[in-house]
Structures are given as structure tokens and as C-alpha cells.
Amino acid sequence: MNGEYTTVSIPKPLYERIKNIIKDTGFTSVSSFVIYVLREVVASYEQEKIEVFSEEEKKAIIEKLRKLGYI
Amino acid sequence: MVSKPHGGKLIRRIKRDFEKEDIQTLEVSLEQALDIENICRGVFSPLEGFLDRNNYLSVLENKRLSNDIPWTIPIILDVSNQSIDGLKEGDDVLLKYYDRNIALMNIEEIYQWDKKQYARYIYGTTDPEHPGVSKIYKMNDYLVAGKLELLNSVPTRFERYTLWPIETRILFRERGWRTIVGFQTRNAPHRGHEYVQKAALTFVDGLFVNPLVGWKKKGDYKDDVILAAYETLIKHYYPRDVVVLAVLRTSMRYAGPREAVHHAIMRKNFGCTHFIIGRDHAGVGNYYGPYDAWKIFQEFPDLGITPLFIREAFYCKKCDGMVNEKICPHNEEYRIHISGTNIRRMLLNGERPPEYMMRREVAETILSFENPFM
Amino acid sequence: MGEKVTIEIPKELYEKAQKYIQESGGEFKSVNELVEFVLNELLSEEEEETVFTPEEEEKIKQRLKSLGYI
């Protein structure tokens, strides 16, 4: 099945407060708000993988860029 | 810092050694060949191949891949009923464009798609008058998914202007740029474009002008004309070393808001940290609201490239310069809007548009072509 | 134990959050805890923004109006 979901649980008072502040904001549910916030948090942390090119490759690319007049 | 590749990893799937055994082949169109090279050279990172059904549906319904990474335009390979004969999941297949071996694909899935559903989700309309929709309706009924490995580049007339993400990333770093704004275009630059680019350039380190070359409508500027016009503009009106001009070979889909996000993602892969979103970006006719392409970005707190919403520029006689809605208080009577259509008409008649619309040098460059339009 | 409310989120996002927790070095024990923390943080920011009572707000608006700012 496409788009699998799972659940998290938060204290009811917190839920109510969130519900309150998202009124008139375009967020249609606490769930859509939590998804938004969590995506933001996780994305800011995602680490860049180690660079995928070697020194030689880099040299060759710089040479090409020089030939084309970009550097 | 130059932007992280989308999904965290710059995809590079290039295979140099290939021995021709007994392998099935599949002919691909130019457009498909370009998609293949864009996948293998990381323009479409994190994609490693054409979308499988699960990811395809996720992009339609959620505007995200099934691993939750934002993705708004399905990258798919359609195959005719005849070609599908004899192909099965698990097979390796050689993809050819004319007599050139483009890539190897390992077939993961063969599936059917609902084109109306595609049109509804991606274009927001099933109207066959929409150029994107009509193109979809003409496509084959089967899609093939699978990871790719590039064997050879797709031939291009624009070798001199072809840079791939790994190259722009190194280039930006060599130039010492930390913030780079991307600019998407299909036009020769008029004063409005220049204004918008310079407004952005005022607070970032570098500008990446990235014209989309490839399939065009009749009446559009020819690709060579766009490049020559930009060369002229940059030579006369931009400081040295703040601009990089390179082409992007992919087709326009006219999917408005969804395509605006797609355009931003591709430029993120080139290393841009910012991307200019125009009014009615990638729109066509009246299918999308003028600011729909701005609104959609609210759905992506995790996009990883900052959209810049810069209003359309016009000339104001009272301000005595190029301005926009946000900074000019004067009435319509003082404003001269710069219409690309008007400029094209003048150029078509061999006339040079007035300087407040288009730089003299740029207009002359365009007029030096025997026929600047498709 | 207070009452809890369950919220649906995409499974993939949940898994990314889990990875985030592991890599952030034991600050949070579960995705639930992370979500709770982030939401509380947001709410407290929100509350800092509204450091005035509705009556105060009304009074200030009146003054801004009389000065022609709004």
C-alpha cells in the first residue's frame, strides 16, 4: 500500500493547545501541523554524505572548467 | 555553504566498461534519453532510476517519494506494447537513442498507469488542450521502472555550456560562493529579467543562469539565441565573476506549481541555495493562479533550498527606473509593463525594442540572427 | 499518567525521526518524546510573542490608531 502511516502520542493538554494555535493558519489538523514541524526538524539535521568525488576527479573537473572559461 | 544534494547524496551512476553480450535493447526518445542522463548525473538526485509504482503514486498523492523526500513530478519511462513484449522484471536491458548506447537498466517493475489520474494530480486538469496533458495522453500505456547506469552522454550542440551538478558544485566552491541563486529561463533576457536577477544577486554571492534547452513551442526563442543574448548581457551589464551561465537539458512540462518545486530541486542539486520563483512559474494559459507557484512551497519545510518570490518588474516613469509592485507607490498611468510577447513581435519585425524594455546590445545580438525564433 | 492523544504521521518520517534521535546522542528516548519537546518549544515561543493581555492589546491598538499608524 502506498503512503503508510504510523502513530505518535502526545499529552492531551498539549494536543488541545496545538489545536488552538493552528486555528485559522491553514493547517487542517494537529496531525498535519506535527508532520510539518517534524519534517522541518529532521531536514535541518540530515547529514551530507561524504563527498563522492576523489581528488583526481576534482582536478579533472577543474581543468575542464578552466578550458571552458568558467574559472 | 553550497546546498546539500536533495536527499543527502549526489547520485552518480556512470559505467564505463560495458561488454556487449546478448542483451535486449529498448529504443528511447530524445526526451527519455535526457531524463536518463539527468538521473545518472545527479540532476534528479536522489532518483537512481525511473520511478516504480509505489513511488509514482506517492509523488502523485503526496508530492513526495515514498521515503518522504519532496518530489513533485514523476520521472517515468513509458514503453510501447510491442517493446514490452519479451521484457520482464529482473531483466537487464540496453537503452539506445538511435545507434548510441545510452544506459543499462535493470527492470524492477512493469506497470500500467492511469493518465487521467496523472493529469488531475500533476496538472490539476484533465483538459487535453493543456500542452502537458495532451503530451501525457499520447504516451504509452506501460511504464518501466528500474535503476540506471549511464554508458554514453546524449549528444548535444551545447557542449560548451553543459555543466553537471558535480561540476557546478566544484565551480561554485572554486569561486568562493557560499550562497547561490538559481534562475530558470526559456527566454532571451529583457530588463525585467535583469532586474529580478540583480535584486536577488544583491544579497547572495553568485547567480546561476540556467536556461532550459530542448523541446520548444513555435514562436519561442531558439536556444542559441538565448545563450548569445545572455552572453551579451553578462559581458556588458554584470560584474565579472558573479554569474555562471550553463544549460539544463530537460523538457518543460507546464505543470505550474508542481514544476516550480521540481525546478527548485534540480537547482538545489546543482548547488544553489536559493531559487527565483516567478509569477505563474512554469504556467501555461490560465490553468494556474498567478501565485499558486509561490503558495506550494509552504508545503515543504524540508525542501533544502530557499525560494525567492520576487515580484514582476516594470518601468515606472515617476520612479524613473525598474521597480516592482512592492517598492513603487505610483499609479498604472506611470507604469510600463514589459511584455515578452511585445518584445518578440518587435524583434520579429526587425525592430529594436526601446531600451527600457531590452538592452540595446542584447536586442542587437538577437537581431543579428537570421531567424531568432522557432 | 495523563491522557494521551494519538496522531498519524507517515511511517518514513517516523523512521527518520528515530534516526535523528539516535544520532543526536540520547537526548530523547522516543519519537513521542521528541515530538512533545518540539511542540512545547514552539508553544513557549508562541507565548513569548504574546506577552500582553487582550486588554493591553486593545489599548495599544487604540493608540496606534490615534497616531495614524493603523
A6 with C8: Cβ contact below 8 A: yes
Residue A34 included in any domain? yes
Band (pLDDT 50/70/90 cuts) for residue A51 is: low
Question: So what's the pLDDT on residue A49?
Answer: 47
Question: So what's the pLDDT on residue A54?
Answer: 82
Residue A3 included in any domain? no
Domain ranges of chain B: 6-150, 160-367
Total domains, chain A: 1
Give the CATH fold of the B160-367 domain.
Rossmann fold (3.40.50)
Cα–Cα dist B290/B284, whole Å? 10
| C-alpha cell recorded at residue B297 | 512551497
Q: Give the global pTM.
A: 0.90
Residue A6 included in any domain? no
Element (H, E) at A14: helix A12-21
Cα–Cα dist B283/B293, whole Å? 8
Place of cell 489520474: B117
Residue A27 included in any domain? yes
Q: Does A42 touch chain B (CB under 8 A)?
A: yes
Give the angle subtended at the CA of C27 by the CAs of C25 and C31, to the nearest 5°. 105
Q: What end-to-end distance do the CA atoms of chain C give, in Å?
A: 48
Nearest to B171 among A53, A57, A70 (CB): A70
Cα–Cα dist B26/B91, whole Å? 12
Residue A24 included in any domain? yes
Question: So what's the pLDDT on residue C22?
Answer: 87
Question: So what's the pLDDT on residue A4?
Answer: 86
Residue C42, CB-side half-sphere exposure with 13 Å CA sphere:
21
Nearest to A14 among C17, C23, C39 (CB): C39
Could you tell me which of B179, B177, B214, B183 has the C-alpha nearest to residue B196?
B183
Residue A61 included in any domain? yes
Is B187 in the active site? yes
A53 with B166: Cβ contact below 8 A: yes
Question: So what's the pLDDT on residue B22?
Answer: 82
Question: pLDDT tens, A4-14?
Answer: 899 999 999 99
Q: What's the DSSP call for residue A38?
A: H
Buried b (16+ CB within 10 A) or exposed e, A21-35: bbeeeebeebbbbbb
Domain span holding position A41: 12-67
Residue A48 pLDDT more than 70?
A: no
Question: So what's the pLDDT on residue A52?
Answer: 63
Question: So what's the pLDDT on residue C1?
Answer: 58
Question: So what's the pLDDT on residue B129?
Answer: 95
| Contact of B60 with B121, CB cutoff 8 Å | yes
Alpha helices, DSSP H only, in chain B?
30-40, 53-62, 81-84, 115-118, 131-137, 165-174, 191-201, 223-237, 256-269, 292-295, 340-348, 360-367
Kindly give, in sequence order, each residue whose CB lies less than 8 Å from that of residue B8, ignoring residues fewer than 6 positions away.
A46, A47, A48, A49, B46
| Contact of B203 with B180, CB cutoff 8 Å | no
The alpha-carbon gap from A30 to the nearest alpha carbon of chain C, in Å, equals 8
Residue C38 pLDDT more than 60?
A: yes
Q: What's the ipTM?
A: 0.78
Q: What is the mean pLDDT of residues C44-60?
A: 78
* Structural domain B6-150, CATH architecture: Roll (3.10)
Q: Contacts of residue C16 in chain B, CB cutoff 8 Å?
A: 68
Is B157 in the active site? no
- Written as one string, the DSSP assignment of B16-54 is ------S-EEEE--HHHHHHHHHHHTTTTTT--EE--HH
Q: Which residues of chain B have pLDDT under 50?
A: none
